[in-house]
Amino acid sequence: MTLHQLRIFSAVAGSLNITKAASELRISQPSVTQQLKLLQEEYGAVFYQRQGRGIRLTDAGKAFLKDIQPILSQVETLKRQFRIRGTDRMSGTLNIAGSHSPSASFLPMLSTVFNDTHPLVGISLKTDTSRGVERLVLGAEAEIGVITNCSGDEALLVEQLGREKLVFFASPKYPWGKKDKLTLAQLLEAPLVV
């Protein structure tokens, strides 16, 4: 029996619905079901039965709930009594690394939004090339990296956030500035500043 299992049982008993309890606890429904199963197996008792879309507590479940309520109440009292002010939310520093484009475009805005919701967490933002950012993440110098060109290193967990649109523009005096379309081959021949 764990405190986690007792909290799960109490939440399920309070809502008489496993799905609602899972949502309230912010854990998956299969995890809630598994923890309840382990709890029942440990005591060799059936604490609840499925009923329609919810559950109903058995007599053993009602007795178990009655006995665990003082334990959960005491744990909450201890948490309130010994919690240092301000540590009830995450604190520390989140190290983010970004390649040049994300660092200039959307990382500052995201940092501001994150800071509004997590005021005790400082943000450190480093800018480097895409490969440099990957090295910072691999070397544990950054927890998160946002880059435009991924190397495909299998040691990194990569999730695509979006696609970046590249636009060619030129002075109207430049010969290609008057064209509607250019091929990649033509662009490869041009002296470009990126």
Under the banding of pLDDT at 50, 70 and 90, the label for residue 63 is: very high
Which of 85, 61, 79, 81 shows the shortest CA–CA distance to 6?
61
**181 SS3 class:** coil
What sign does the dihedral 182-183-184-189 (CA atoms) show? Answer: negative
| Residues of the chain above pLDDT 90, percent | 29
Per domain, the residue ranges of the chain are: 3-82, 86-165
Instruction: Name which residue leads in pLDDT, 20 or 84.
Output: 20
Arithmetic mean of pLDDT, 96-108: 87
Arithmetic mean of pLDDT, 116-144: 88
Query: Which of 66-70, 86-90, 111-115, 139-143 has the least mean pLDDT?
Result: 86-90
Under the banding of pLDDT at 50, 70 and 90, the label for residue 114 is: confident
pTM: 0.44
**What is the side-by-side strand order in the sheet with 121-127?**
121-127, 92-98, 144-146
pLDDT at 145: 92
Under the banding of pLDDT at 50, 70 and 90, the label for residue 192 is: low
CA 120/CA 90 separation, integer angstroms? 7
User: What are the distances in angstroms from CA 82 to CA 2, 74, 77, 78, 193?
Assistant: 21, 12, 9, 6, 59
Q: Which residues, listed in sequence order, are joined to residue 127 by a DSSP beta bridge?
A: 98
Specify burial of residue 12 (Cβ count, 10 A radius: 0-12, 13-18, 19+).
buried
Domain 86-165 part of CATH 3.40.190.10: yes
pLDDT at 92: 78
Whether the per-residue pLDDT at 13 is higher than 80: the answer is yes
Q: Helices marked H in 26-94 — which ranges?
A: 29-43, 59-82
Tokens 């709890």 locate to: 39
Class of domain 3-82: mainly alpha
pLDDT at 89: 53
**Taking a C-beta distance cutoff of 8 angstroms, is the pair 10, 69 a contact?**
yes
pLDDT at 91: 64
Whether the per-residue pLDDT at 88 is higher than 70: the answer is no
pLDDT at 52: 87
Under the banding of pLDDT at 50, 70 and 90, the label for residue 188 is: confident
**Per-residue DSSP letters for 130-154?**
HHHHHHHHHTTS-SEEE-SS----T
Instruction: Name which residue leads in pLDDT, 15 or 117.
Output: 15
Whether the per-residue pLDDT at 151 is higher than 90: the answer is no
Arithmetic mean of pLDDT, 53-65: 92
What sign does the dihedral 9-13-17-20 (CA atoms) show? Answer: negative
